[in-house]
C-alpha cells in the first residue's frame, strides 16, 4: 500500500518531479543524443566531402597533365617532317646527323614541358641513329607484348606502365602507333614525369593513389603504409560488394564509402581520345581518425547534459520544498475559510502568485458582507428598473396618439377639400398623409429598395403638384430582385436636388433616379438639370466625403457616414457636377438580396 501510495500523483510535489522528468530530463537526453549523433554524422560527411574535394582537385591536375601528353602525341602523329625523316633511307651518318640538327621537336617537347620525363619514337629504319627521341627498333623491343599490342591498336592511345630499356625503371607511358597514308611508320611512347605525379598526389593532403585499369601504379600514403592502402583497394576493386558504397551510378561519377578501416572516395579520370585505358584516383583517410573526433564531441555533449541536469535538479528540489510548504499553508487557510473560520495568518511568505492568491483570500473574507449588501441593493435596483420600464412603455403609447391624431386631422382636411370640389388639394393631402405615415414607420434597421423607392415616388408626386408641368421625373430599375438597403439614404439626395438645384433655375426641370445592377454591387444614380455646383464647392464636397473637412451639409455627411459605417469604406457617395448643367450623385451599395421568407 505504501509503494502504491508513493507512485500515486496526488500531490503537486510529485507532479512537479514528474513534469521535470517527462518534459525536461527525457527531452534533454533525447535532443542531446540526437544533436550529438547529427554532429558526429556531419563531421564524417564533412571529412568525406573534404576527401572528395581533394581527390577532385588532384584529378583535375592529372587530367591537365595527361591531356598535355595526349596533345603532344597528336602533334607527333600529324608531323609530316617526322614521317619524311622516318621514311628516308640515309646513305651515310653525316646526312643523319644533319637531319637531326634541323629537327628539334622532340628536344623542345622535353625542354618546355616538365610533365614529360622522356620521349621515344621507335621506327624500323636501320639507317637512323639513336638520338633524342629517335630509337631504331630492336628485336628485344618488337618481341614485347606492349609493342605488339600498340601496333594492333592502330593509332589508338594506350596508357601503360613500361620499363625503360635504358634506365630500367618503370614509368607511366602513353603509347601510340603512328601511321601515314595507312602505312605504319613507328611507335611513340611518352613517359609522364613520375615526380610530377607524386607531387600531385602529395598535394591532395590525404592518402591517395592512382590506378590504371584497376592496377595500383602510384601512391602517396600518410600515415598508412602502402601495403595497407593497396590491400584495401584490391578489396574495393575485386570484392566491392562487401563495402558500403554511398553511390555508384556510372563510370563518370565518383564512389564514396566507409569501411571498418578506411573512409574513401574513388574518382574516375576521364580523358579525351583515351578510350581503352581507365584511370582512377582513390583518396582515403582512416575511419578511426574521423570517429575519434566525433566521439570526443559526443562525450563532451553528454558531460554538459549531465551537469545541466544535476544543477537543474538541485534548483528544482529547493524550489519544490519551498513551494510545497506555502501551498500547504494556503490549503489549510482556505479550508478554515470554507468552514467559516476566519482566523488565519495575516501574511504568507514569498512574492509570487501564491502570495497574491492568499491576499485575495483575505480580501474575499472582508468583502463577504459588502457582497451581501450589494446583493440587496441589486434587488432594489431591479425593482426600480421595472418601474422605469413601465413608465417608458406608457410614454411610448402616449406618443403614438399624436401621429394618429395628425393622420385623422389630415383625412378630415382631405374630405373637406373633396366636399368643396378641390381635388388637387385633396390629392396633395392624401399623398402627404401617406408620406408622413411611411416616414414614421421607418424604425427598422433595413428595408427593401422597392419600399424606399415607393416613398421617394410619393415625395416626387408632392413636388410635381407643387411645380406643376414644369417638373418631369423618372424612376427606372434594371432588376426585379428585392435588395435590402438602409432607410433614408436616397431621400436626402433627392431633397438636395430640389433645394440646391431645381428650385434655383426657371423653366422646365428634370429629375431622374436609376438603379443599376453591377457585378456584386448596386448603384443608385440621381440626376437633375438644375443649377449645378461650382468647381470650388464641388471640391469642398469631395473633401467632405473623404472626411478631410468638417461637415457643414448634415444630410450628405450623414448619408456618407451611415453607408461607410454599415457597409465599409469601399461604398458611399460619388458626386459629379458642372455649373449651369446639372448634378449627378451615385450611391454605391453592396448587393443584399431579400430572399423569400426573410424577415
Domain of 142, in residue numbers: 51-288
d(CA 439, CA 76): 113
Query: Which CATH number goes with the domain that contains 74?
Result: 3.30.450.20
> Tens of pLDDT along 2-55?
565 555 555 666 677 677 666 666 777 777 777 777 777 787 777 778 888 888
Q: Is 275 a residue whose pLDDT tops 90?
A: no
Residue 169, pLDDT score: 85
**The last residue of a domain, from among 288, 311, 335:** 288
Q: What per-residue string of b and e applies to 467-503 under the rule 16 or more CB within 10 Å gives b?
A: beeebebeeebeeeeebbbbbbbbbbbbebbbebbbe
User: Strand ranges (DSSP E) for 328-470?
Assistant: 447-448
Q: What is the pLDDT of residues 459-475, one digit of tens each?
A: 888 888 778 888 999 99
Write out the H or E segment, with its range, that includes residue 23: none
pTM here is 0.47
pLDDT of 529 above 80: yes
Domain assignment present for 266: yes
Lowest mean pLDDT among 263-267, 310-314, 359-363, 549-553: 549-553
Dihedral angle at the C-alpha atoms of 592, 594, 596, 599, nearest 10 degrees? 120
- Quick one: pLDDT band at residue 189, thresholds 50, 70, 90? very high
If one counts the domains in the chain, the total is 2
pLDDT category at 328 given cuts 50, 70, 90 is confident
Q: Which residue has the higher pLDDT, 85 or 386?
A: 85
63 occurs within a structural domain: yes
* CATH code, domain with 535: 3.30.565.10
Task: Give 458 or 112, the one with higher predicted confidence.
Answer: 112
Does residue 233 contact residue 209 with C-beta atoms inside 8 Å? yes
The tally of CA atoms less than 13 A away on the side-chain side of residue 241 is 0
Strands of 365-487, DSSP E: 447-448, 471-477, 484-485
Q: How far apart are CA 523 and CA 478, in angstroms?
A: 11
CA 461 to chain centre: 64
Q: Go through 94-126 and write b for each residue having 16 or more CB atoms within 10 A of its CB, e for each that does not.
A: eebeebbeebebbeebbeebebbbbbbbbbebe
Comparing 434 with 496, the larger pLDDT belongs to: 496
Please check the confidence at residue 372 and state whether its pLDDT lies above 80.
Answer: no
Domain boundary among the residues 259, 288, 317 is at: 288
Question: Which of 241, 273, 288 is a domain's end point?
Answer: 288
Give the pLDDT band (50/70/90) at residue 434: low
Distance CA 88, CA 102 (A): 15
pLDDT for the residue numbered 202: 86
Q: What is the CA radius of gyration of the chain?
A: 54
pLDDT digits (tens, 9 = 90+) for 195-245: 999 899 888 877 888 888 888 888 887 654 445 554 555 455 444 433 443
Sheet containing 255-258: which strands, arranged edge to edge?
215-220, 207-212, 279-286, 262-269, 255-258, 244-247
CB 184 within 8 A of CB 69: no
In a domain, 308, yes or no: no
Instruction: Flag whether 404 is in a domain.
Output: no
Question: Does residue 174 form part of some domain?
Answer: yes
CA dihedral 13, 16, 18, 22 (to 10 degrees): -170
- Whether 556 is in a domain gets the answer yes
Tell me whether residue 301 is in a domain: no
244 vs 505 pLDDT, higher one: 505
- Please, which pLDDT band fits residue 267 given cuts at 50, 70 and 90? confident
> What are the grid coordinates assigned to 501, written together?
438645384
Sole residue written with cell 428598473: 385
User: Is 87 a member of any domain?
Assistant: yes
Amino acid at each position: 500500500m505504501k509503494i502504491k501510495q508513493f507512485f500515486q500523483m496526488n500531490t503537486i510535489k510529485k507532479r512537479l518531479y514528474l513534469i521535470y522528468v517527462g518534459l525536461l530530463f527525457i527531452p534533454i537526453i533525447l535532443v542531446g543524443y540526437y544533436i550529438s549523433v547529427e554532429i558526429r554524422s556531419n563531421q564524417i560527411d564533412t571529412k568525406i566531402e573534404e576527401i572528395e574535394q581533394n581527390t577532385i582537385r588532384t584529378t583535375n591536375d592529372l587530367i591537365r597533365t595527361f591531356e598535355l601528353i595526349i596533345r603532344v602525341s597528336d602533334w607527333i602523329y600529324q608531323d609530316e617532317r617526322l614521317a619524311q625523316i622516318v621514311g628516308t633511307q640515309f646513305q651515310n651518318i653525316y646526312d643523319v646527323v644533319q637531319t637531326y640538327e634541323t629537327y628539334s621537336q622532340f628536344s623542345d617537347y622535353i625542354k618546355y614541358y616538365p610533365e614529360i620525363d622522356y620521349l621515344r619514337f621507335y621506327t624500323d629504319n636501320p639507317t637512323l641513329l639513336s638520338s633524342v627521341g629517335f630509337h631504331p627498333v630492336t628485336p628485344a623491343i618488337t618481341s614485347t607484348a606492349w609493342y605488339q599490342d600498340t601496333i594492333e591498336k592502330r593509332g589508338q592511345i594506350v596508357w601503360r606502365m613500361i620499363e625503360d630499356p635504358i634506365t630500367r625503371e618503370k614509368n607511366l607511358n602513353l603509347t601510340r602507333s603512328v601511321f601515314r597514308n595507312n602505312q605504319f611508320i613507328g611507335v611513340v611512347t611518352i613517359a609522364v614525369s613520375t615526380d610530377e605525379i607524386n607531387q600531385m598526389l602529395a598535394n591532395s593532403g590525404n592518402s591517395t593513389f592512382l590506378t590504371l585499369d584497376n592496377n595500383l601504379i602510384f601512391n602517396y600514403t600518410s600515415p598508412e603504409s602502402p601495403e595497407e592502402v593497396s590491400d584495401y583497394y584490391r578489396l574495393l576493386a575485386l570484392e566491392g560488394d562487401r563495402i558500403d558504397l554511398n553511390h555508384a551510378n556510372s563510370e563518370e561519377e565518383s564512389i564514396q564509402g566507409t569501411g571498418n578501416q578506411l573512409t574513401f572516395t574513388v574518382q574516375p579520370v576521364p580523358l579525351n581520345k583515351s578510350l581503352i585505358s581507365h584511370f582512377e584516383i582513390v583518396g582515403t583517410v582512416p575511419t578511426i581518425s574521423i570517429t575519434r573526433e566525433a566521439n570526443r564531441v559526443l562525450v563532451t555533449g553528454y558531460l554538459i547534459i549531465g551537469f545541466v541536469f544535476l544543477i537543474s535538479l538541485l534548483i528544482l528540489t529547493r524550489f519544490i520544498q519551498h513551494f510545497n510548504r506555502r501551498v500547504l499553508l494556503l490549503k489549510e487557510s482556505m479550508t478554515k475559510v470554507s468552514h467559516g473560520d476566519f482566523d488565519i495568518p495575516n501574511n504568507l511568505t514569498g512574492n509570487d502568485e501564491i502570495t497574491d492568491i492568499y491576499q485575495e483570500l483575505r480580501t474575499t473574507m472582508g468583502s463577504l458582507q459588502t457582497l451581501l449588501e450589494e446583493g440587496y441593493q441589486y434587488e432594489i435596483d431591479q425593482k426600480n428598473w421595472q418601474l422605469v420600464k413601465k413608465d417608458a412603455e406608457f410614454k411610448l403609447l402616449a406618443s403614438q396618439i399624436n401621429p394618429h391624431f395628425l393622420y385623422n386631422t389630415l383625412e378630415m382636411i382631405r374630405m373637406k377639400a373633396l366636399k368643396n370640389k378641390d381635388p388637387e388639394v385633396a390629392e396633395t393631402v392624401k399623398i402627404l398623409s401617406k408620406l408622413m405615415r411611411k416616414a414614421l414607420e421607418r424604425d427598422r434597421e433595413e428595408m427593401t429598395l422597392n419600399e424606399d423607392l415607393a416613398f421617394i415616388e410619393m415625395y416626387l408626386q408632392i413636388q410635381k403638384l407643387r411645380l406643376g408641368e414644369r417638373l418631369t421625373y423618372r424612376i427606372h430599375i434594371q432588376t426585379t430582385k428585392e435588395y435590402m438597403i438602409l432607410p433614408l439614404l436616397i431621400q436626402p439626395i433627392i431633397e438636395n436636388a430640389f433645394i440646391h438645384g431645381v428650385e434655383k433655375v426657371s423653366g422646365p426641370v428634370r429629375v431622374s433616379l436609376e438603379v443599376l445592377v453591377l457585378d456584386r454591387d448596386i448603384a443608385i444614380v440621381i440626376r437633375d438639370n438644375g443649377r449645378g455646383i461650382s468647381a470650388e464647392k464641388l471640391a469642398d464636397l469631395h473633401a467632405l466625403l473623404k472626411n478631410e473637412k468638417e461637415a457643414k451639409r448634415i444630410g450628405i455627411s450623414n448619408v456618407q457616414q451611415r453607408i461607410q459605417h454599415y457597409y465599409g469604406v469601399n461604398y458611399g457617395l460619388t458626386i459629379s457636377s458642372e455649373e449651369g448643367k446639372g448634378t449627378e450623385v451615385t450611391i454605391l451599395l453592396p448587393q443584399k438580396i431579400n430572399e423569400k421568407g426573410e424577415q
